[in-house]
Amino acid sequence: MSKNEDYVKDYLNSIIRQFNYYKQLGDRTMAQLSDGQLFEELNTDSNSVAIIAKHIAGNQLSRWTDFWTTDGEKEWRNRDSEFELESISTREGLMATWEKGWKCLFEAIDSITHDNFGQLVYIRNMGHTIPDAVNRQLCHYSYHVGQMVFIGKVLKGGEWASLSITKGQSESYNREKFDQPKTKKHFTEDL
């Protein structure tokens, strides 16, 4: 395998882990919330966790459906409707939409190979390299998942189960990590 092929393989493995990590944060946030809390808005100008999850899924379906052959901003997408809850009013409906979006993303990522890695894809008629298109979406989803986590923490208050290093535990966490030999691995392997 050439260095370029190794790079593509390493990059794809890394982004799959990263996308899985952010999906997991969203999953674990929604699992902690009651049905009512999923749809609760902190104020009239904010979005609920459900709306954010619906928006992420809508974006995923638009960006990753027919990834190689059609623009990532599909004509059938109605972005504004992603911020309305009329079409989703239950946890089950929300989770089905959330899973559908992630499935579409992972299937598209699985279609990326060393042979097509240099192909441009388009979003709103702007050509993107594969790393640019993937990184754009990774950043977009992590931004919104962070919002979901924050809202979850606010709604749960003291009942929130941390999804990261627990406050006040950084020193012991770091000590545990530095007590292990150096190794090449992705940080999500220990989660």
The ranges assigned to domains in the chain are: 3-164
**Nearest partner of 48 among 34, 63, 62, judged by Cα:** 34
Pairing relationship of beta strands 121-123 and 126-128 according to DSSP bridges: antiparallel
Of 103, 105, 85, 81, which is closest to residue 94 (Cα–Cα)? 85
Provide the 3-class DSSP secondary structure of residue 145. helix
More confident: 184 or 108:
108
Q: What is the pLDDT of residue 132?
A: 97
Please compute the mean of the pLDDT values over residues 113-134 and round it to a whole number: 96
Residue 120 has pLDDT above 80, yes or no: yes
- Give me the helices (H) in the chain, please: 3-32, 35-38, 49-64, 91-110, 130-156, 170-178
Q: How confident is the model at residue 86 (pLDDT cuts 50, 70, 90)?
A: confident
Q: pLDDT for 87-105, tens place per residue? A: 888 999 999 999 999 999 9
Question: Does the pTM exceed 0.95?
Answer: no
**CA separation for the pair 8, 104 (Å, rounded):** 21
Q: Which CATH number fits domain 3-164: 3.10.20.30, 3.40.50.620, 1.20.120.450, 3.40.50.300?
A: 1.20.120.450
Distance CA 100, CA 36 (A): 22
Output the CA–CA distances (angstroms, integers) from residue 55 to 59, 81, 105, 173, 186, in the order listed.
6, 9, 14, 34, 28
pLDDT value at position 41? 94
Q: Is the model's pLDDT at 191 over the cut of 90?
A: no
